[in-house]
A = this chain, B = another copy of it.
Amino acid sequence: MVGKSTLYDVALKAGVSTGTVSHAFHHPELIKEDTKMKVLDAARELHYFPSGNARGLASGKTNAIGLFSFDMLISSPLWYVPKSNSDGVVEEPEISTFPLYVDEIEHGFELECKERDQALVLQALPNGKYESFVDSVGRVDGVALVEGFKPDIATIKALCDQRPVVLLSEPKSSYNALSIQVDNVAGTYALLDHLVLTHHVRDVAFLGTLDSPDSYERYNALMERAKRYDISVTHPSLGKWGASIDQAMAEARTFVEREDFPQAVVCVNDQLALSFMAVMRMLGRRIPEDVIVTGYDGILAGRFSSPKLTTVLQPSQAMGRLAARSLIERRGKPWGEPKFKLLPTKLVIGESCGCRRPSRPSMDRLVAADVSWFDSIKMRRGHNW
């Protein structure tokens, strides 16, 4: 009863051989309808759940693809912390979360898998932990690695020769993998063009550490474009910004008092931009009147911030979908050569750059704007409302 039954049990019960049982599942056309039914019935009665491991081992594939990240993927969301109301009515017990950049990638990945009926294994690997990485890789037919991975380079390279690998947010490489990246350069150019041409910005600071390919590209592109307008770009250190809110306030205080405090602050991502805006506000500075702030990524929270964040939007979901699709289509076959795909970015004008928007986004716009919104809602529970 409690014991798990195996293929042998099924064969025994059905009075056939194991080969036949296997055929009944995978090559039903090879056996008689009659015996097939016998087998299926037996399996059902025994509550037979085939072992995925044994299957995989025998057939040489795991039948699953992976999305691994070495850092904080799936992790800390952007909290929305409700304050208890002045009249005491509202006191929400659970904090809501805004999906971030990697969440969107992940979501796209999942959507694609779901639509293709693919199993997906998600794993967050402790950064730099060689063994866990090596371990996990053996569990999937192909894997997408999210930016931030820094295990042994040679290992990654070898992996690319053994199975299909997608490198997300990575520039063109010499690995036999598919690297997918967004067009940071075009996005940055568009951003600076807007700041300069529309808002007459003459000096900007780039905020954020250069610790990923994206951040490098963004910084470099900004420097590059700045030459064209002959404007200055500083890159002030954030110091202990991330240590605590007090530390961030301290850093911000020194920053605003510098005589080269800029007209515009280009943050390396939306999270930083949002927290920077918040801290500025706590210091009594207004945005965009006192300082213009922009971000990168286009996360949902930025559309509901006040002021609405001007940012360089990335097709994060599309990125995730593309990764999954590519992996699935390779069916375990590694790329024989380096591949590269550049996804477009798009400048999204908010209010934090000084533009005025007609109104705050509201759910009114949802339906009014596009019926597909409605269609998407109704899908969820199989039209059962």
A residues at B contact (CB < 8 Å): 1-2, 4, 44, 47-57, 62-64, 71-83, 85-87, 89-90, 92-94, 96-100, 103-104, 107, 110-111, 113-114, 117-124, 126-127, 132, 134-140, 148, 152, 154-155, 158-159, 161-162, 207-209, 211, 238, 241-245, 248, 268, 271-272, 274-275, 277-279, 281-282, 298, 300-301, 303-306, 313, 315-318, 334, 344, 346, 348-349, 355, 357-358, 360-385
> Which B residue's beta carbon lies closest to that of A248?
B374
CB-CB under 8 A from A107, the residues of chain B are 74, 77, 97, 103
28 A-B pairs in the complex with CB atoms less than 8 angstroms apart = A2-B161, A47-B154, A47-B155, A51-B138, A52-B139, A52-B140, A76-B377, A76-B379, A79-B377, A80-B300, A82-B365, A83-B369, A85-B358, A87-B358, A92-B346, A93-B346, A117-B124, A119-B122, A120-B122, A121-B122, A207-B385, A209-B384, A241-B385, A245-B371, A278-B363, A305-B362, A306-B363, A306-B364
CB-CB under 8 A from A120, the residues of chain B are 121-123
Beta-carbon contact of B378 and A242 below 8 Å: yes
> Which B residue's beta carbon lies closest to that of A135?
B50
Beta-carbon contact of A376 and B78 below 8 Å: yes
Beta-carbon contact of B305 and A363 below 8 Å: yes
